[in-house]
Structure 1
């Protein structure tokens, strides 16, 4: 009998003890015989006798039950319990369940069998209600809210080495919020936790010095606190002028069966601070208009995102030589920091261009400087003054088209405008073959998109589009337009959105075959031969057959002065270049209102449709205001109830029957078309290499790779890698072959090649970091036009691959969150962070996960091989069951539900 368990509520717990119990209902006779409990590979509907491969002994029992009064004494039905016997080292139930709960493998499959199957009298029957009983303690998680309070205030912050926090007291306060690895359900016990703090000082009080520990502490001082408690402590006296760094980790305490112990999370990232009693003190900050400071019981909203506020910064009464101020918003580390110099030393300074990028409560951080240099040769800044105020919420979209009603086969030819502001502008579909809906849609299963013009080769029929009957946006005033585009043909200009006047298109958001870039343009006037002013994408040759978020912002700066009007293109939530000043680009420019309807998938010239789009459009929206960069990043995330959407765009499955011969087949699964026989995105199968790769397996079909020459490949890329994406593989490692590899060897699970040089733009791999020690990793590499590496981002696993992970299926997942901000080593702010999941758990590693340079892969996408350090190879010793890629950065919950597939 086989019993298979999903992690369920056990996920993220540290198992102290485990018991498996099965209910015996029949024995051949009254004589006891040995029953083994074995761990095996996983089962499926296709599993046949003798079942999957046996992996490890869990325990055994010498029993007989279920014959009732046929035996003397009577042998009624009975629960038979298996628990590790300390005297038998081959019994591994607890350690196996511990690894299972830690996410080292997605399913725990246990088999009951007679130890001697050649003995008929050993046969027994068990009911199907087996139980796994577990004693556990909460696994600690990396603490949050780690930071230092610069003076006597209450707001803490964490700064990088490139910009240490200035602290003017010699006993700074530090804080951390203790966490369990998995958030507890309401009403559940929430752990016994402490925060441990560790502080180091630089030997030279510069960032290039040697670091040594000078202080540590635990909070609370005695006892334990539950999950989510904010712990604060004050350091012992520290030296003035010293450069320090500190971090924290969560400790979880347990006691069971007369024993006790402690578990520790990985440390948080380092926070840097410099103690400088002579630095300028906290400046004064007063608001002018329109924003007002929040009071204890009142915080009224004013203004809005992108609406400039006026603030006056002044020196602290204790300072005599303040010469400059800098300010930033605390809502995003990557929001630009702006510096202003005082015209008069130690005098107040009024700043009128303080523009919050988001609505809601915002905290403005302001620091003063005397322009003296610190020991690192950088201008020193004093501790920040925090000013909290509330920003009015941004206007909602004045038009939004989900295209969710365009289910194929229904004949629906209208896309509803689902916005709630202003007048509705429903879009009517026009065209013959290929104009309608598609199951390939940006919000994932159950969603639909607008499909245009790529189902036929007849030019006469390649003229499909959708349009509103009247203007959906006033192009004379500030506006923003955006949509998700899946471009399948770049042989001509391909318009995503446009709106025309009587003679010309006022704006167009499109792919340009001349520039080979995405473009947002405006016409100077409504005339037959207008001057088009363009905001161009940073990168040329965007990939085809991928989802890309494109948007354009027209900004009149809230006034009637046409000389400062600008346009700017956004790709995947990121601004492209600098805003283009329209009057500077064309002296004839006038802001004018287009009188025609909003066009989806074409432009209008001289009354005729031109530049028709080929492919898919989805989630289009317009706003009658200039969206801030922060709001554009939010729109790119495509959130529903605060959770970003993702769409499966590639899925290869070696376990299905169509995977045979020389190809790993695409999964035929289409949730909106159960009768489908092919994956909707049609990437093609993974072609096996000439040697070293085979579709076979001891227990079920798998892609078996020899670690020397075997791999499988297909033409890539399958996602726009300047945006967010997720890649996951179900892999089984061959430890014997890995052991024969040199230290430093990388076994590539999956990788996408870069356009030039032998590097992978992204890769999942296992790395031999020492003899017998292996580590999962996910990374990204950016190269320049000559193929030289300019940046890398690596997310490693917290712990080495454990013994329980070898020889069994493990889910490893890489997530690239293009919207997550980080500060690079040089102090510059960027977006794009790599994350690794092993099973359902995100890993906290020591390596740099931020990618400061955008990179798009092209060419071969490989399973079992990749490129790194100028060499293509790095063959994987092991088996591959599935390889999947999504557009969108999955959250931990999405990884758990869509990849780890938990069950009770």
Structure 2
């Protein structure tokens, strides 16, 4: 037994004062000790006191043990449907957005835990503290695949070491409906498009009225087909559509819908895909003439009055006659909707009021029209619709973002991107002042100006005022695309240009500058040792020349001396999934891919001139051929080489 003198040894402490002192003996963790105390209340300037009984007298000892260490790493118990990976097995379960209740408890021998924190491998920070000796939090994985869970416990001495376990989140339910529209059979007059999804029941779509047909102009390229609707001035053929025979998606629960859209006419409201119940409640994914934007609309009835809320594109205007990927998502748990354009969310989720429930979900899925009153259809689509898909599942916002972005990439099973050739101009055998696209079926024609000529092999440009143009844009620049051209510089004319002269080979005009372009910048001259002729020296670029003269572009690895009669195949790729641009010269990628913010194109697409700082300038002297543009980003060097081919380097 140890005894101590009165504390403090000098003076006194006031009411509620803290008295501290070191133990007169060494205390060992885990040993049971007891403590007895008494108190004195001082008065008369501390000359007199009243004293309590000692806790020894009252047999009221204070028993305690010393714990100078932090808690041990806690125990994690899994809740359905997930299970911890073992050395021999790591079975996938659940899906992104499927939550489970885990249990965090003290390790054997610990009894002082006061709270816990956890962190998934997809989280940047720890969770808020969860108070309790044993806690049972609900955890929601947001991405599929192998996921790590870290948990730590806290007691008065601090945080424990981490317990780390791994589990695998399943990829989740696939699409409940998917229509490629590539099963046309003109010979037999087939009028149905197969639903090729593998989850749930199948819902084939039937084409109705004379305005509905299939087209070889389709987003997956060669041998593909799309649904083509009402693209005619014939008023008897402007109410075509396709529809399933019953509802495909339950609008009372969370869902996502996506489609590729090719709009040819913006003079009216145009619906890509919609589903409306017999009470007029449902959704539509459409072009709004009123605000000139894409919209995902949710509508409901309240006290007999139709109400609606839309999630719209952040930027006004749409690119006509280009393929654009659209998607809409409804989150029933959080009561929000969201629109995606070319894989990108358009602003944050739009909140719906608590009264916005879908009451029934018994309407057929409509391709190319919508109904806001039962049985009354309107807003017929004009143009192409392709690759429609619907998912019926509750997903986290990150999981929806990932799903839509992946869908917009349009990859084959082997990871190769499907691309659609949107324009191709081959001057071989051509003459005159126009050059038609006779390859793709999209029907764009280049018009030559300023003295530009066709010599049966190439578009010939003098570098002063020559150009060839067509109304653009050819692709939706907020989505992925690939562009190529073969160029033979007029070495004498380009060598005569001042240093730092920039000439555009091909490119798309933006509102007040280039949206994108393939360029040559002359930085100096060299001399041909055989002919003693001056040759231009410079760099090839793909990207944007800004109004202040700066580049947002990828550039050739080194300056090149361009020899007379040499042909260079230039290819530029914009990947909207990674938001990067890449430049290929011949077969080889030059420079590293560069982060790039897309700028919507407008007005003319041009060969041989560039629109920068509010003026047409940057004229190219040379010969240009093999101009082609695809919707979609080619997947790396192999696909680029195989699809584009090369003409020189």
Shorter-normalised TM-score: what interval?
A: 0.7 to 0.9
- Structure 2 residue 87 is the aligned partner of structure 1 residue 301: no
Give matches, 1:370-389, under 5 Å: 389=167
Match of 1:647 in 2: 420
Match of 2:332 in 1: 556
Pick aligned residue for 1:688 from 448, 457, 461: 448
Give matches, 1:32-43, under 5 Å: none
The CA distance in 2 between the partners of 1:594 and 1:724, in whole Å, is: 35
- Structure 2 residue 141 is the aligned partner of structure 1 residue 355: yes
Match of 1:833 in 2: 580
Check the 8 A contact 2:118/2:149 in 1, yes or no. no
Deviation digits for residues 756-786 of structure 1 (CA, Å, limit 9, x no counterpart): x2x101111112244443221111478xxxx
Change (3 A) 1:592 1:792: farther
TM-score, normalised relative to structure 1: 0.55
Pick aligned residue for 1:529 from 297, 305, 327: 305
The CA distance in 2 between the partners of 1:792 and 1:285, in whole Å, is: 56
Pick aligned residue for 1:896 from 632, 641, 649: 641
Pick aligned residue for 1:737 from 493, 507, 511: 493
Deviation digits for residues 508-538 of structure 1 (CA, Å, limit 9, x no counterpart): 1111111211111111238863111111111
The CA distance in 1 between the partners of 2:75 and 2:616, in whole Å, is: 57
The CA distance in 2 between the partners of 1:901 and 1:285, in whole Å, is: 61
Match of 1:485 in 2: 261
Check the 8 A contact 1:308/1:356 in 2, yes or no. no
Check the 8 A contact 1:793/1:850 in 2, yes or no. no
Q: Tell me the CA shift for residue 707 of structure 1.
A: 1.7
Change (3 A) 1:739 1:417: same
Pick aligned residue for 1:393 from 171, 175, 178: 171
Match of 2:406 in 1: 634
In the alignment of these two chains, the number of paired residues is 538
Match of 2:357 in 1: 590
Q: Tell me the CA shift for residue 868 of structure 1.
A: 3.8
The CA distance in 2 between the partners of 1:799 and 1:582, in whole Å, is: 55
The CA distance in 2 between the partners of 1:426 and 1:665, in whole Å, is: 38
Pick aligned residue for 1:510 from 286, 291, 294: 286
Match of 1:412 in 2: 190
Question: 3-state DSSP class of the match of 1:525?
Answer: strand
Q: Tell me the CA shift for residue 543 of structure 1.
A: 1.1
Give matches, 1:81-480, under 5 Å: 289=79, 291=82, 294-308=85-99, 329=122, 338-339=124-125, 355-357=141-143, 359-362=144-147, 389-408=167-186, 410-432=188-210, 434-458=211-235, 460-480=236-256
Match of 1:565 in 2: 335
Deviation digits for residues 401-430 of structure 1 (CA, Å, limit 9, x no counterpart): 111122556522111111122111111111
Deviation digits for residues 233-255 of structure 1 (CA, Å, limit 9, x no counterpart): xxxxxxxxxxxxxxxxxxxxxxx
The CA distance in 1 between the partners of 2:135 and 2:612, in whole Å, is: 52
Check the 8 A contact 2:276/2:361 in 1, yes or no. yes
Q: Tell me the CA shift for residue 752 of structure 1.
A: 0.7
Q: Tell me the CA shift for residue 810 of structure 1.
A: 2.1
Q: Tell me the CA shift for residue 623 of structure 1.
A: 1.2
The CA distance in 2 between the partners of 1:746 and 1:483, in whole Å, is: 39
Check the 8 A contact 1:408/1:436 in 2, yes or no. no
Q: Tell me the CA shift for residue 295 of structure 1.
A: 4.2
Pick aligned residue for 2:522 from 758, 762, 768: 768
Q: Tell me the CA shift for residue 556 of structure 1.
A: 2.1
Question: 3-state DSSP class of the match of 1:531?
Answer: strand
Q: Tell me the CA shift for residue 324 of structure 1.
A: 10
Change (3 A) 1:408 1:730: farther
Give matches, 1:680-829, under 5 Å: 680-683=441-444, 685-691=445-451, 693-696=452-455, 700-755=456-511, 757=512, 759-772=513-526, 773-780=537-544, 793-801=552-560, 806-820=564-578
Give matches, 1:879-894, under 5 Å: 879-891=623-635, 892-894=637-639
Change (3 A) 1:436 1:527: farther
Q: Tell me the CA shift for residue 342 of structure 1.
A: 5.3
Deviation digits for residues 411-470 of structure 1 (CA, Å, limit 9, x no counterpart): 2211111112211111111111x3101110011011111111112331x43110001111
RMSD of aligned residue pairs (Cα, Å): 3.4
Match of 2:31 in 1: none
Question: 3-state DSSP class of the match of 2:305?
Answer: coil
Change (3 A) 1:284 1:445: farther
The CA distance in 2 between the partners of 1:406 and 1:872, in whole Å, is: 45
The CA distance in 2 between the partners of 1:843 and 1:735, in whole Å, is: 22
Change (3 A) 1:597 1:391: same
Change (3 A) 1:771 1:506: same
Change (3 A) 1:901 1:731: closer
Q: Tell me the CA shift for residue 788 of structure 1.
A: 8.9
Check the 8 A contact 2:572/2:582 in 1, yes or no. yes
Question: 3-state DSSP class of the match of 1:644?
Answer: coil
